[in-house]
C-alpha cells in the first residue's frame, strides 16, 4: 500500500497511529505507552513526529527535468505536486517551473474536474512564432501542495484548453536578423 492508503486504512480501522494497535477511549496516539519519535531520516534529519514509521509521509520533493534528448539538454525543472480542489479532492500533476513566465496556467479540464470556481476573463496569448490568440476563459485560485506536505500554497492561474499543441511553421528570417545570427546558427 502507498502511505496515503495506509493512513486511510489506519483511520478506517481506528488504530493508534503510534503502535498500530486498536485504539479506543483509553488508548490513542496521545497516551500510547509505546509512543516514540518516528525513526525515518530524510536529508540528514530525523522526522520530529510521533507516528509509526509505516505511516511516515516523505517530505522530499522530487525534481525532474523537462529535456530535449538528455540531461545535458535540460530546459526547465518539473516537480510533482498535488493540485487541490474543494471537498479534499486533489489530482497529482506535474508543475513546470518557468522562472521567465509572466503568468501561471492550468488546463481548463483539470480545473473543472477538481470543481474549482473561477472568475471570467479574456486574455491575449502570443504563441511561438508571434501568432496571437484571444480567448475567453477563467482565472482560478489554485491550491497546490507538495507531495507529502500538508501546507497548501495558493497560485493564481489562467485556464486554457491545452498547455501545448503542435507548433506551426515559424518564419525565422526576421528573427535571425534581429538577433544578429547567420542562417546556419539557427536550427528549427
CA angle 87, 162, 138 (to 5 degrees): 55
Annotated domain spans of the chain: 1-57, 78-160
Q: What global pTM score does this model have?
A: 0.49
- pLDDT for residue 47: 83
Lowest pLDDT segment from 21-25, 36-40, 50-54, 174-178: 174-178
Q: What is the CATH number of domain 78-160?
A: 2.40.70.10
Mean pLDDT over 133-148 rounds to: 88
Amino acid at each position: 500500500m502507498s502511505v496515503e492508503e495506509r493512513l486511510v486504512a489506519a483511520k478506517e480501522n481506528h488504530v493508534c497511529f503510534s503502535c498500530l494497535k486498536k485504539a479506543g477511549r483509553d488508548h490513542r496516539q496521545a497516551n500510547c505507552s509505546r509512543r516514540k519519535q518516528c525513526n525515518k531520516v530524510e536529508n540528514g534529519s530525523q522526522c520530529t513526529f510521533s507516528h509509526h514509521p509505516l505511516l511516515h509521509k516523505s517530505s522530499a520533493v522530487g525534481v525532474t527535468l523537462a529535456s530535449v534528448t538528455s540531461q545535458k539538454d535540460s530546459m526547465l525543472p518539473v516537480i510533482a505536486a498535488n493540485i487541490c480542489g474543494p471537498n479534499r479532492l486533489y489530482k497529482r500533476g506535474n508543475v513546470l517551473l518557468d522562472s521567465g513566465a509572466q503568468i501561471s496556467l492550468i488546463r481548463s479540464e483539470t480545473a473543472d474536474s477538481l470543481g474549482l470556481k473561477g472568475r471570467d476573463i479574456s486574455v491575449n496569448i502570443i504563441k511561438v512564432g508571434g501568432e496571437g490568440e484571444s480567448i475567453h476563459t477563467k482565472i482560478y485560485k489554485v491550491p497546490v501542495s507538495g507531495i507529502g506536505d500538508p501546507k497548501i500554497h495558493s497560485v493564481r492561474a489562467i485556464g486554457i484548453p491545452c498547455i501545448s499543441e503542435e507548433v506551426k511553421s515559424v518564419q525565422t528570417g526576421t528573427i535571425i536578423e534581429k538577433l544578429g545570427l547567420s542562417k546556419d546558427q539557427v536550427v528549427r
